[in-house]
Structure 1
Amino acid sequence: MSALILALIAGAVVGLALGALGGGGSVLAVPALIYLLGFTPAAATTASLLIVTATSLTALFGHARSGHVRWRAGALFAAAGILPAVAAGAAASRLPQPVLIAAFAVVAVLAATRMLRPAGTVSGGGAGAVRPGKAAGTGAGLGALTGLLGVGGGFLAVPALVTVLAFEMQAAIGTSLLVISVNSLAALASRGATTADLDWAVIAPFIGTAILGAWDGKRLAARASGPLLQRIFAVTLLAVAAFMLIDALT
């Protein structure tokens, strides 16, 4: 199967997951780029940042039109992650490939665990639960994760915004897209020189079908059971993580 066809299929799956679940689809982008399309781990994380940025900005536009983005709070949360995202993005190209693969596998396990957890375990703490210091620390950690591994971190940003900033779920999902977009752009800024060496004939169609898949994912979410979709996706992530850990350790 040609690289173009694989890129189209992988992009559609990533976009479908993002649209249906509101996050987590980018965790599939890196392993798809490495194992299906032959990217090195460093190049895959850079390409994933491009994919995450494009899909997040597209989705952000739709959520903003619906009034689900809290711009001020989201900007403050995202600002804490800019410098960590830049620093981690610069460091990623210097790390050994097995380390990057193993670190990514651990993050995939965390994402799967988060999605398998019952929805009731993530709840807001009320208006008095907002702690600026904790919010800044969470934003910084999310920025570092985005810069290092090329993932948007929506599976972490949404529960963080709900529990740390006491957002309702719709606002958390919309605002997380702002945070993800800012962190991804900051991380890309630190990798400017590496983007020129990427295979744009593969990345461009990947991005295109990811954006289209995200719209289909929204329609799928309206018809299928949300918990069922999350469980299927979580099991897939665990399988991917196990494969990557074995690859990193052998």
Structure 2
Amino acid sequence: MEYFGYLASIIIGLSLGLIGGGGSILTIPILVYLFKIDPKLATTYSLFIVGITALSGCFSHYKMGNLKMKSALYFAVPSVFSILIIREVIFLKIPNVLFTIDDFQVTKNFLIMIIFAVLMMAASFSMIRKTNSNIQSAGTNYWQLAFIGAIVGIVTGFLGAGGGFLIIPALLFFANLPMKQAVGTSLFIIFINSSIGFMGDLYIGTAIDYPFLLTISSIAFFGMLIGTQLSKKLDGDKLKPIFGWFILVMGIYIIIKEIFLK
């Protein structure tokens, strides 16, 4: 299964490069099911993998003029505060076993995977649904942008997800950015959020397998290079529905596996 995991890791970067999100949606299932990593630790690994991969994409999009720093900072700063509160305070207080129903234990790991599956399905619907990315608001609403940034920080803190599927619509409709600039700016925000979350985990003493982590990150980085180049030639809006159906199937699979195949 590990060989499939290494191959699937390319898709993490490919997704980030093409549509500016979706990398973390894939990272957690790949780490948990293909590499058999504990879900809690997988959220930490996901932060590093997605963060470092997004950083590599930032440089390419910056050169193409697709990174809007002011909008990124208004979004990222409240996200950082949410991440630190969730990851370093609330997350640590959640017990490993929440409660038991008959002989079935609802654990923290089970909760992580179920919430992640629901998140995947919600993300898939937003990707499958046809939207006009050229529709823009009258101007940038920085207060709403900051509020959504705080919400994305909660998602990032709890699940180790970059939240690209939330960031992209926010940048389109509240920051008044066209699609390609939303992708480039989203990658920068994902890098900031993921990096802060990962460094917080290092601070509390999470044990890291660096050779493994760097290997997966390198493979995802290769996928990012491919995705960034393809983004110059392909329309990300046309790729989103295909990726959305793939994510939907994966979300359904996780729910079935966690509830019925344990």
**Which residue of 182, 186, 191 corresponds with 1:181?**
191
SS of 2:132's equivalent? helix
Aligned pairs for 1:208-227 (under 5 A) are 208-221=218-231, 226=236
TM-score, normalised by the number of residues in structure 1: 0.89
**Residue number among 232, 240, 249 corresponding to 2:250 in the alignment:** 240
Tell me the alpha carbon deviations over residues 120-169 of structure 1, each in whole angstroms, 9 at most, x when there is no partner. 17731122xx3333222101001111111111111110110111121222
> Any stretches of 5+ residues in structure 1 without a counterpart?
none
Kept after mapping to 2: 8 A contact 1:14/1:28: yes
Change (3 A) 1:195 1:31: farther
Matching residue of 1:57 = 55
The answer to whether the 8 A contact 2:129-2:241 is kept is no
Worse overlay, 5-14 or 204-213: 5-14
- Counterpart position of 2:122: 110
SS in 2 for 1:23: coil
> In structure 2, what is the equivalent of residue 126 of structure 1?
138
Residue 29 of structure 1 is matched in structure 2 by 27
> What is the percentage of aligned positions where both structures have the same residue?
30
Q: 2:102 corresponds to which residue?
A: none
Counterpart CA distance in 2 for 1:66 and 1:233 is: 24
Matches within 5 A, 1:141-180: 141-180=151-190
d(CA) in 1 for partners of 2:151, 2:73: 15
CA contact (8 A) 1:69 1:175 kept: yes
Per the alignment, residue 100 of structure 1 pairs with: 112
Q: Which amino acid aligns with 2:68?
A: R
Q: Is the 8 A contact 1:161 1:167 kept in 2?
A: yes
Q: Which amino acid aligns with 1:102?
A: I
Structure 2: runs of 5+ lacking an equivalent: 95-107
The aligned length equals 246
Q: CA separation of 1:100/1:187 partners in 2, compared to 1, >3 Å: closer, same or farther?
A: same
Amino acid at match of 1:110: A
Q: How much does 1:70 deviate?
A: 1.4
| Aligned mates of 1:205, 1:194 — CA distance in 2 | 24
1:227–1:177 distance in 2 versus 1, CA, 3 Å:
closer
Whether the aligned pair in 1 keeps the contact of 2:79 and 2:193 (CA below 8 Å) is: yes
In the alignment, what sits opposite 2:8? 10
**C-alpha separation in 2, matches of 1:98 and 1:10:** 23
Question: How far has the Cα of 1:172 moved from its partner?
Answer: 1.5
Q: Which moved more, 1:31-40 or 1:222-231?
A: 222-231
1:135/1:220 CA distance change after superposition, 3 Å: closer
Moved more, 110-119 or 47-56: 110-119
- Whether the aligned pair in 1 keeps the contact of 2:56 and 2:224 (CA below 8 Å) is no
Q: Is the 8 A contact 2:20 2:187 kept in 1?
A: no
CA 1:186/1:62 → structure 2, altered by over 3 Å: closer, same or farther?
Answer: same
Q: TM-score, normalised by structure 2?
A: 0.85
Distance 2:14 2:131 in 1: 21
